């Protein structure tokens, strides 16, 4: 069920209409759980069983980690984390295991290829890990604040935390210590209508107008189509894909945050104008913030972070990003993508380029380099088969003599312009000359809403649904 589909809008409307009625005041959490399960089961009802199984495991483990015998807590927490990782590995990485270790012609390989990939599994298993680890550490709140007093109450809160439909299938990744303390009765009078409206309008505009239009032009990056385009056209399409993947994922996150606000819940900001970054460290503080902070809290720091010397710090960065890349998909190209970013983070830290630069020209040059690197690396997302990545790069090197496709390039630039303008406005919005223009921002939101109605592209699945 896509966020930009009529069934989803109907589900949100019906849920919202009942949610704030006084009769349902004590049933708000149960109502959102019901709507969330309907949302998740809409296309593949059987996969709800996996979600509920994951919730049941994490409920039991986390509860007894919190209230069980002290001597068994560490073992239980370890088992809980390993079970979550095993579920993720089995359902997500079976095709990778089949191709890498067994071959697709063997009985084991064929079996592994038949295992379905549940949408959102990367997100709800990470949230299960967050719950188990947070309750084991018990440093954010008291036992009663986080789990209630009964296993049944804790199970309800855990199911709600994991299944809350705005974030369920593509994030932002929620952390238990951020979300669980928010659970409680919500009131219609407390809705932040302005913030919800802005997030929803920007989110739907980025998704439906920018990403859904760009996808029709960046489609030709796929094999074997790229072989027939000029080098200039190929580079333009890669630029367009960089804009598309931002608009698609940032749009989804903005919609999720806006919907959360309608129901009284605050979800973590997931994007903070990442393409203005002048270092890779800054980029990862701005891009997919919920994932980068999760990896920082639950992987990088537990490994030792920067507390065990420079060499180990660089190694920890590379390992963290390698695993973060592999989290995105069951192909070694994703791991390579993460490895490239890990090496880039380690290299710039080694030479001291992870700190802000002085001077506009130097800062601009660094920002241009980071954006170019990030954009080129997105090719590993668009073409998970590494042989196709090599073929695309070869075509860019060989096809300079071919005439450029002016209409295709123009269309890409037109639909990329909003993303460029979005980031440019961020850079200049604090300047005095821009202040009077900010008074007209609701005209801008009105224009965005108008464009959603009249110029949306053909509906397409969110890119991050596959992750």
Q: What is the mean pLDDT of the chain?
A: 89
pTM metric for this prediction: 0.91
Cα dist from 325 to 103, 128, 319, 336, whole Å: 23, 20, 10, 7
Q: What is the arithmetic mean of pLDDT over 432-457?
A: 81
- Which tens digit of pLDDT belongs to each residue from 21-34? 988 888 999 999 99
Q: Does the CA dihedral 177-119-460-164 come out positive or negative?
A: negative
* 116-130, 230-244, 268-282: segment of lowest average pLDDT: 116-130
What own/partner pairs with CB < 8 Å and gap ≥ 24 does 178-184 have?
178/268, 179/265, 180/141, 180/145, 180/146, 181/141, 181/145, 181/146, 182/264, 182/265, 182/266, 183/29, 183/157
Q: What is the arithmetic mean of pLDDT over 378-394?
A: 92
Q: What is the arithmetic mean of pLDDT over 172-188?
A: 90
pLDDT-derived band of residue 430, with 50, 70 and 90 as boundaries? low
- Which tens digit of pLDDT belongs to each residue from 86-108? 999 999 999 888 888 888 788 88
* 32-36, 105-109, 280-284, 357-361: segment of lowest average pLDDT: 357-361
Q: What is the CA radius of gyration of the chain?
A: 23
Sequence length of the chain is 467
Q: What is the pLDDT of residue 68?
A: 82
Q: What is the pLDDT of residue 329?
A: 84
pLDDT at residue 145 greater than cutoff 80 = no
Q: What is the pLDDT of residue 465?
A: 63
- Which tens digit of pLDDT belongs to each residue from 218-273? 999 999 999 999 999 999 999 999 999 999 999 999 999 999 999 999 999 999 99
Highest mean pLDDT among 50-54, 180-184, 349-353, 429-433: 50-54
Q: How many Å apart are CA 163 and CA 41, to the nearest integer? A: 11
Residue in 167, 288, 328, 341 annotated catalytic: 328
* 145-159, 223-237, 431-445: segment of lowest average pLDDT: 431-445
Is 388 annotated as catalytic? no
């Amino acid at each position: 069920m896509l966020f930009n589909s009529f069934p989803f809008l109907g589900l949100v409307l019906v849920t919202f209409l009942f949610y704030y009625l006084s009769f349902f005041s004590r049933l708000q959490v149960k109502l959102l759980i019901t709507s969330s399960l309907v949302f998740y089961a809409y296309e593949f009802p059987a996969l709800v069983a996996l979600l509920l199984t994951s919730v049941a495991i994490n409920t039991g483990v986390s509860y007894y980690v919190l209230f069980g015998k002290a001597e068994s807590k560490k073992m239980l927490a370890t088992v809980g984390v390993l079970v979550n990782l095993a579920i993720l590995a089995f359902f997500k990485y079976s095709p990778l295991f089949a191709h890498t270790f067994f071959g697709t012609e063997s009985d084991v390989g064929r079996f592994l290829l038949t295992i379905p990939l549940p949408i959102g599994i990367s997100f709800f298993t990470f949230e299960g890990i967050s719950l188990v680890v947070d309750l084991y550490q018990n440093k954010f709140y008291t036992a009663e604040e986080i789990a209630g007093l009964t296993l049944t109450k804790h199970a309800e809160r855990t199911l709600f935390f994991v299944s809350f439909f705005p974030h369920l299938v593509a994030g932002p990744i929620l952390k238990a210590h951020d979300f669980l303390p928010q659970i409680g009765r919500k009131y219609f009078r407390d809705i932040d209508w302005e913030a919800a409206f802005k997030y929803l309008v920007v989110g739907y505009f980025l998704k439906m107008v920018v990403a859904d239009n760009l996808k029709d032009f960046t489609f030709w990056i796929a094999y074997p189509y790229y072989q027939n385009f000029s080098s200039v056209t190929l580079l333009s399409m890669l630029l367009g894909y960089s804009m598309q993947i931002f608009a698609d994922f940032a749009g989804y996150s903005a919609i999720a945050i806006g919907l959360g606000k309608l129901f009284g819940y605050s979800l973590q900001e997931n994007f903070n104008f990442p393409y203005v970054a002048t270092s890779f460290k800054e980029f990862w503080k701005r891009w997919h913030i919920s994932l980068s902070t999760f990896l920082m809290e639950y992987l990088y720091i537990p490994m030792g972070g920067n507390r065990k010397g420079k060499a180990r710090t660089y190694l920890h960065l590379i390992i963290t990003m390698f695993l973060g890349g592999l989290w995105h998909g069951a192909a070694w190209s994703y791991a390579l993508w993460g490895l490239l970013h890990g090496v880039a983070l380690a290299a710039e830290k080694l030479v001291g380029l992870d700190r802000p630069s002085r001077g506009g020209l130097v800062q601009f040059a660094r920002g241009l380099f980071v954006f170019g690197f990030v954009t080129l690396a997105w090719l590993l997302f668009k073409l998970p088969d590494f042989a196709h990545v090599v073929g695309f790069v070869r075509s860019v090197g060989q096809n300079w003599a071919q005439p450029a496709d002016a209409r295709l390039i123009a269309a890409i630039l037109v639909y990329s312009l909003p993303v460029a303008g979005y980031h440019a406005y961020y850079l200049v919005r604090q300047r005095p000359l821009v202040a009077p223009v900010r008074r007209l921002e609701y005209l801008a939101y009105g224009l965005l809403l108008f464009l959603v109605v009249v110029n949306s592209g053909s509906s397409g699945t969110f890119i991050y649904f596959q992750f």
